[in-house]
Amino acid sequence: MKTILKSVLLLFLLAFSLQSCEDQDDVESPAALQVNDFIWKGLNQFYLWQADVPNLADNRFSNQEALNSFLRGYSKPEDLFQDLLNKPISKFPKGQAIDRFSWIVDDYTVLEQELQGTSKNNGVDFRLSYKPGSSTDLVGYVRYIIPNSDASKKDIKRGDLFSAINGTQLTVSNYQSLLAADSYTLNMVTYDGTNFVSNGKSVSLVKTTLDENPVFINKVITSGSHKIGYLMYNGFYANYDAQLNAAFADLKAQGITDFVLDLRYNGGGSIQTATRLASMITGQFTNKIFAKEKWNAKINQYYESEDPESLNNRFVDKMDGAAINSLNMTKVYIITTSGTASASELVINGLAPYISVIQVGETTVGKNVGSVTLYDSPTFGKANRNLNHKYAMQPLVLKIVNSADFGEYTDGLKPTYEQLERISNLGVLGDPSEPLLNVVLSKITGVTTKKTEEERGVALKGFTDVKAMNGIRNQMYLEKAPEGLLRALK
């Protein structure tokens, strides 16, 4: 292993070094410990809270054999991963967790596909909530149906309710196992104002490999002198950035006067895509800082010395060589719910120092930290991966703040105007009468509609949703670690 820098950065830039190891390179990790060795060394190098986990300390092990002895204590890589996290939600589920979002998989192909909007999916996007008066029983409601999915061919739609799978009541202890199956039958119910009652209907669903275009609705709503662009965007998947840019080209061509971005079911995704979306909404801030990254002390020290610009994400006017279609808005209306997370929150927070951001709906998740995919390779990138296994990690590696250095929103971003989604009247997405969109339109036009049923109906206590259940789809991530850092690790 060669020296990269003749400075205090030396230890950081040696990818497999341990601060106090003696002749570590002479003692390789046994084949049976390769995955565990990758997990420890990747987290020791990149993990955001590396300094807060004693077992990840640079001087924790005197040499490779001492590390091996520790790693032999874990027969399952997943258990080691969880034990090396800083108060993970798996061990601190009742509001005490610090790390709520780090992830590990045993097949990086699945991880890569999920991060780009491809998953094994039956097409029902849903939310699970507690039944009124219960702390264990759950009820689900359909938020939307993904086009070209198995569900799109079945008799199921937004607003439908279900409380059981294959005849078994959904609970906080069994929902994951029931919904993880490749095929199952939803047992549907109706809410009578007090109870959820079986209506005798059931829907059988089968999961297939499904690509979800996150540009779900793109339209213009005309109201008086206002031509209001409305975009419902459900995931920051970089593979669909061209479609996103095309949607903005359409809105721009129609000469919209106002813009509404619906992120209510968007669990996040690519930081690069979030930067591009913010640039499409604006256009007048090219090259100004949209967001800044803060890594652990070791990596920040390298960046600040060698490549400080890599810590900045700037507004852009081009995307893969093509011009970005920008709207030059000075005000944006953004719809959120308690399922709005990570890259969605980044857009809200990153735009706030530059333009007026009017948030309507519910308080967001509060994910101000980002991840990167780590592979078992000399640089932890995709090149020269260990072919003996397919494990990969998606650990939290950075905190992100806006140009004004604000990023403290772990309790979520609160709406300017609160409006809850209520099962008594979810409405039709994109329709001007849909409750959340209707509030936005009233703020734009100044025309207020009278209070309707949804403002009196039941708002269930949320438990989780399908994107949060699949932690891979509730991420804010870098496409890869910056090139300068990877080169330094070679």
- CATH number at 175 reads 2.30.42.10
The confidence score (pLDDT) of residue 489 equals 62
Mean pLDDT of 124-152: 96
> Quick check: is 385 in a domain?
yes
Is residue 220 domain-resident?
A: yes
Tell whether 266 and 289 lie within a shared domain. yes
> What is the pLDDT at residue 20?
39
> What would the mean pLDDT of 271-291 be, rounded to a whole number?
98
- What pLDDT was estimated at residue 461? 85
Which tokens go with 45?
């190098």
Whether the per-residue pLDDT at 483 is higher than 80: the answer is: no
Q: What's the pLDDT at 449?
A: 66
pLDDT digits 0-9 by tens, 220-236: 999 999 999 999 999 99
What pLDDT was estimated at residue 21?
Answer: 41
- The arithmetic mean of pLDDT across residues 301-326, rounded, is 94
Bridge pairing between strands 392-394 and 322-323: unpaired
Residue 269: strand, helix, or coil: strand
358-415 confidence digits (pLDDT tens): 999 999 999 999 999 999 999 999 999 999 999 999 999 999 999 999 999 999 999 9
User: Does residue 444 form part of some domain?
Assistant: yes
Residue 57 inside a domain? The answer is: no
Q: Do both 167 and 271 map to the same domain? A: no
Confidence at residue 22, expressed as pLDDT on a 0 to 100 scale: 39
**Would you list the DSSP string of 44-62?**
HHH-TTGGG-GGG-TTS-S
Q: Quote the tokens at residue 146.
A: 């993904």
- Residue where a domain stops, chosen among 211, 236, 252: 211
- Note whether 176 and 249 are same-domain residues: no
Per the structure, the complete domain to which residue 152 belongs is given by 120-211
Tokens of 378: 């000399």
**Domain check: are 236 and 324 in the same one?**
yes
In a domain, 443, yes or no: yes
Inform me whether the pLDDT recorded for 10 exceeds 90.
Answer: no
Percent above pLDDT 70 for the chain: 90
**C-alpha 5: how far from chain center:** 35
Tell me the pLDDT band of 175, cut-offs 50, 70 and 90. Answer: very high
* Radius of gyration, alpha carbons of the chain: 24
Q: Residue 92 and residue 96: Cα distance in Å, rounded?
A: 5
On whether both 230 and 201 belong to a single domain, the answer is no
**Helix/strand/coil for 99:** strand
Give me the number of domains the chain comprises. 2
The pLDDT mean for the chain works out to 90
**Residue 423 and residue 380 share a domain:** yes
Task: Judge if 442 and 391 occupy the same domain.
Answer: yes
Domain boundary among 187, 211, 235: 211
Residue 486 pLDDT grade (very low, low, confident, very high; cuts 50, 70, 90):
low
Q: What percent of the chain has pLDDT over 90?
A: 79
Is pLDDT above 90 for 125?
yes
Kindly tell me if the per-residue pLDDT of 105 is higher than 80: yes
The mean pLDDT of 11-24, rounded to a whole number, is: 40
Position 465 pLDDT exceeds 60? yes
pLDDT for the residue numbered 451: 55
Reported confidence tier of residue 16, pLDDT bands at 50, 70, 90: very low
Residues 302 and 383 both lie in one domain:
yes
CA 216, CA 234: separation in Å to the nearest integer?
A: 7
Amino acid making up residue 342: S
pTM of the model as a whole: 0.91
So what's the pLDDT on residue 474?
66
Last residue of one domain, picked from the residues 176, 211, 246 = 211
- Residue 272 DSSP SS3: helix
Determine the pLDDT at residue 59: 96
- Give the helix/strand (H/E) hosting 104: strand 103-105
Domain match, 368 and 422 both: yes
- pLDDT given for residue 117 in this prediction: 85
| pLDDT: which is higher, 13 or 157 | 157
**Selected residue with higher pLDDT from 324 and 19:** 324
Give the domain CATH number at 321: 3.90.226.10
| 295 and 158 in a common domain | no
* pLDDT of residue 296 exceeding 50: yes
Evaluate if residue 468 carries a pLDDT over 90. no
70 assigned to some structural domain: no
If asked whether residues 247 and 133 sit together in one domain, one would say: no
Whether 175 maps to a domain, the answer reads: yes
Are both 226 and 132 inside the same structural domain? no
483's CB contacts (< 8 A; 6+ apart) are none
Residue 19 has pLDDT above 70, yes or no: no
Q: What is the pLDDT of residues 27-68, one digit of tens each?
A: 567 889 999 999 999 999 999 999 999 999 999 999 999 999
Predicted confidence at residue 472, as pLDDT, reads 60
Residue 425 lies in a domain: yes
Residue 194, pLDDT score: 86
Pairwise CA distance, residues 426 & 438, whole Å:
12
Compute the average pLDDT of residues 420-437: 94
